[in-house]
Amino acid sequence: MEDYCITYNDWKPEEQKLREALCTLGNGYFATRGAAEESSNDAHNYPGTYLAGGFNRATTEISGKRIENEDFVNFPNWLCLNFRPEGGEWMDLNQFKVHEYTQSLDMKKGLLIRAFRVEDSQGRCTHIQSRRLVSMHDMHLAGIEWQLTAENWSRDIELYTALDGTVTNAGVERYADLESQHLEPLNTREVDDESLLLMVRTRQSKYAVALGARTCIYHQNSKIDTLKETHQREGYIDQKHRFKLTQGEPYVIEKMVALYTSRDRASAEPSLEVCKDLKRMGRFKKIWLPHINAWEKLWRRADIGVIDGDKTQELLRLHIFHILQTVSLHSIGLDVGVPSRGLHGEAYRGHIFWDEIYIFPFLNLRFPEITYALLMYRYHRLDEARYAARQAGYKGAMFPWQSGSNGREESQEMHLNPKSGRWKPDDTHLQRHVNAAIAYNIWNYYQATDDIAFLSNFGAEMFFSIASFWASRVTYDEARDLYEIHGVVGPDEYHTSYPDSEKLGLNNNAYTNVMVAWLMQKALHIKDRIQKSRVRELMNDLNIDQQELSLWEAISKKMFVPFGENNLILQFDGYEDLKEFPWEAYRKKYDNIQRLDRVLESENDSPNRYKASKQADVLMLFYLFNLEQLKEIFRNLGHDFTQEMMERNIEYYKARTSHGSTLSRFVFSWILYKYDKKTAWQNFEKLLISDFEDIQGGTTEEGIHLGAMAGSLDLIQRVFTGIEVTEEALWIKPDLPEHVQKINLQIKYRHHWIAISVDHDKLRIAFEEGYSNKVNIGVLDQIHTFSQGEVRTFDMSGR
C-alpha cells in the first residue's frame, strides 16, 4: 500500500470477491465492482454494476408466505473482455499459469490497474496491463484499456468484447432463495462496426438502461483493421475481433463505454444519448484526463492527512475514496439517498438506514451541497412518511427504518439465518429512532453551513413533522407525571421484544426517549429561528396549534428515562430483569460471536433474554452530544449528569456488547477516547481495517460499510483535531493520540474554507478564503476573530 494506492501482488481467487468490493470504481451515479474483465459470476468472481437509486421490487414465496422485497439491482456487466490465440483457450486465471500478478487501486486518479503474465496450456505467455475508470468527470462514461503483448507467440488472435444484460442478483448468498431476476431485455444492436448497444429494463420499476461499448485495437498508435463478427441474443451482445498479432509488440485495446438511464436529466432517450457519446468520446486518454482532474479537485477538498508512521493514511484515503464514489457532486442532480453498503454490492439491498448520521459529519464540513441533496432525498419522501404515520394512527411524519425508491418501509419481512438455515421474521423495523436521526442531521447540517434557506424551506417542515409524529406517539403516565414511548426498538438490534413475549417492541428505550426530548426542544428553537411568517405557514399546513407546541415543550422536559442502580441508564424498561450473558463460555465455544443473534437463534435461543447488545445503544448519546450538551439535556429532564456517570455507563455496556455492527467499534472508539485512550485506539485500529481486512468474515464482499468508513474520518476531525461546530463559533480543541504525529485537513465552515494543521507542539489555522470577511474560531477556550487570508499559529506544547 502506498499513500494513495492499494496494491495486491498476487492472484488469490479466494480473496477476489473482497478485492472486487474494495476496488469498486464509481462516481455517485453508477459503480462497478473491481472484478476482472475476463471473469463472470462464479465461486470467486462477481462482476456487479449498480446505479444510485437503481431499485426493483419482486415477490418470492418463502415458507408458504409471499413476500415482497425491494432489491438493489445488478445492472448489465460492461466489463466483459477476453482473448485467445486462434484455436486456443480463452484466458482464465484459474486455469492458466499466472506468473506475475499485480492489481492496484490508484485512488488519487480513480484507476484500477492490473498487470499480469499468464501462460496457457500450450506454453504461450502473454502479458497484459489493464487500466479501468468510471469517469468522475462525465458520470455516463467508463473505459478499459488493455495493453497486450504476446511474449513468445505470433499468430491470429481473437478478442472478445460484450455487454451482458443476462445478469441476475446473485451477490449475497443469503438472498439466494429470493427472486433474483430483476432485468428484462429490451434491445441489442450493432451501432456501427465497432460499437454495440444493449438496452434492458427493470421488471417492476421500469428503469430503462442503455449501455454502449466501442472496442478498438491500436498498434503503434494507429487503429488497426480487424475481422469482426457480432452475435446477439436476448439481453446479450458480443463481438469478436480477429487480427494478426506480432510477437513482442504491444497492442492497445480500448473499450469505451457509455451508460444512460430513463431517469437522467437533459436526455432525449437513453439509447440515443449512448450513441451520441459513442461517436463523440474519443480515445481512453480523452476521458482519462478530465477524470483525473475531477479527482484532483475532490482530493483537494476531501483529503485528510495523518502522519503516524503506520497504514492509517492509506486506509483513511480508502474510506474517503469510497464515500465519494458512492455519493458525489453528481448526486446533486439525482434523487438518491446514501446506501449503507455503498454502490459496491447487494447487501442490505441498497437501502438507506439511519447510517447518514455517521456519514454526514464528514460531508457537512467539505461537501455540504451533497448533504443538502441527501437531505432532499428525505424531503421528497415526506408525503410517504406522513401516510405511514397516519396509517399507524399518528400525526406528522414517520420515516421508515429502511428506505428505498419511494420512501415506504422496505425492511424485509423475513431474513435467513445462514447459521441455522431458518427463515425468521425480521423484527428490527420498529427502529423509530431513525426519526430522531433525520432531525439531528437537519440541525447539524444547518449548524455547519448556516443554510437558513434550507432550514426555513425544507428542514423545518421535516423537523416539525417529525416532532408532531413523536408528540402523537408518546403516552402520558399519570402516576409518574412523565411521557413514555412504548413498543419501539432501539439501535441495538438484538433486543426487539421482551423475553417470551409475542408482542414486538420495548418500552422506553433510553436512547430514543432522550433523542425525542432533545428534538422537541430543538423544534421550538427552530421555530424561534426562522421567519415568523414561515412558522405560521408551517403551523397552518401541518396542523400544529399552540396546544401542540406546549406539548412539545412538556415532552422536552418530562420524558421518562429509565435508570437503574448506581446511575446506570437502562437500555429500556425491564432491562435489569434480563439474564447476564455467559460471554466467556461463548467465546470459547465459537470462533466469532459478533453476530450473537445468529448464534443464539441457531441454538433455539434469543439475545432478547440477555444483557447482550449488538452495538452501542444508550452509549450513542455520548457520541452524538458532548458532556456539556448532555448535562443540559438531562438537566432539562430533571436529572444530574456527570462525567463519572458517563464513564460508568460506558464501562457497563462495553462489557456487554458484541460489536455485531461495524458502527459499534466507531462509537466505542469515540466515547472511550477521553478517558481510556488505549482501548479507544485499539477500537480505532479495528475500525480502520474492518472493511480492508473484512473482520466480520465475508460481509465486505457483499458491500462496504460506509457508516464505519465515514466514522473513522469523523474521529480524526472531531475527536483528534477537536473540531466542534457550535452556534457561536467553530471550536478547535486538538487532542492528538500519541501515535499520531500530525494531522492536516481543511474544512468548509459556514462558507469559509479553513485549513488546519496540528501536531503535538503547535496548531496552525489558516482562514484561506470565504464569502465574508470575518469568522469566529475558538481555540482551546478562547474565541478569536479571523479575517480572510489570516494565518495564526498556537502553541500546543504545554498541553
Among positions 348, 443, 445, 666, the unique one binding ligand BGC when judged by CB under 6 A? 348
Q: In terms of Cα–Cα distance, which of 449, 482, 415 is closest to 175?
A: 415
CB of 491 to ligand BGC, least distance (A): 6
CB of 606 to ligand BGC, least distance (A): 16
Nearer residue to ligand BGC within complex by CB, 368 or 491: 491
- 3-class state of residue 684 by DSSP: helix
Yes or no: say if 759 and 745 are a contact pair by the CB < 8 Å rule. Answer: no
- Is 548 a binding residue for ligand BGC by CB under 6 A? The answer is no
CB of 575 to ligand BGC, least distance (A): 18
Within residues 401-430, the interface with ligand BGC by CB under 6 A covers none
Among positions 120, 356, 493, 702, the unique one binding ligand BGC when judged by CB under 6 A? 493
- Is 354 a binding residue for ligand BGC by CB under 6 A? The answer is yes
CB of 505 to ligand BGC, least distance (A): 16
CB of 707 to ligand BGC, least distance (A): 6
Which helix (H) or strand (E) segment is 476 a member of? strand 475-477
- Is 356 a binding residue for ligand BGC by CB under 6 A? The answer is no
Classify the C-alpha dihedral 68-72-78-79 as positive or negative: negative
CB of 244 to ligand BGC, least distance (A): 53
| Cell (9 digits) for 166 | 443476462
Dist CA 612 CA 599 (whole Å): 13
Q: In terms of Cα–Cα distance, which of 16, 9, 133 is closest to 79?
A: 133
- What stretches of 424-582 show up as alpha helix (H) in DSSP? 434-449, 452-454, 460-473, 510-529, 532-541, 546-557
Q: What's the start-to-end Cα distance of the chain, in Å?
A: 34
CB of 341 to ligand BGC, least distance (A): 7
Nearer residue to ligand BGC within complex by CB, 493 or 701: 493
Among positions 37, 38, 303, 355, the unique one binding ligand BGC when judged by CB under 6 A? 355
Nearer residue to ligand BGC within complex by CB, 404 or 707: 707
| Cell (9 digits) for 363 | 460531508
Nearer residue to ligand BGC within complex by CB, 106 or 356: 356
DSSP 255: E
Dist CA 371 CA 730 (whole Å): 19
Nearer residue to ligand BGC within complex by CB, 103 or 325: 325
Using CB under 6 A as the criterion, what x/- string covers residues 615-644 for binding ligand BGC? x-----------------------------
Among positions 45, 74, 202, 340, the unique one binding ligand BGC when judged by CB under 6 A? 340
- Is 353 a binding residue for ligand BGC by CB under 6 A? The answer is yes
Dist CA 345 CA 536 (whole Å): 45
Spell out the residues 6+ positions from residue 628 whose beta carbon is closer than 8 angstroms to its own. Answer: none
Dist CA 245 CA 265 (whole Å): 44
- Is 597 a binding residue for ligand BGC by CB under 6 A? The answer is no
Among positions 337, 345, 703, 707, the unique one binding ligand BGC when judged by CB under 6 A? 707
- Enumerate the active-site residues: 493
Spell out the residues 6+ positions from residue 619 whose beta carbon is closer than 8 angstroms to its own. Answer: 649, 650, 653, 667, 668, 671
| Cell (9 digits) for 202 | 427493470
| Cα–Cα distances in angstroms (integers) from residue 148 to residues 101, 120, 277, 630, 782, in the given order | 14, 15, 26, 62, 62
CB of 428 to ligand BGC, least distance (A): 7
Dist CA 24 CA 40 (whole Å): 16
Using CB under 6 A as the criterion, what x/- string covers residues 651-680 for binding ligand BGC? ----------x-x-----------------
Dist CA 273 CA 330 (whole Å): 18
Among positions 28, 143, 491, 711, the unique one binding ligand BGC when judged by CB under 6 A? 491
**Binding piece for ligand BGC, criterion CB under 6 A, among 353-361, 475-483, 508-516, 619-627:** 353-361
Number of residues engaging ligand BGC in binding (CB under 6 A):
12
- 3-class state of residue 358 by DSSP: helix
**Binding piece for ligand BGC, criterion CB under 6 A, among 224-232, 253-261, 350-358, 364-372:** 350-358
Site residues (vs ligand BGC, CB under 6 A) = 340, 348, 353-355, 491, 493, 614-615, 661, 663, 707
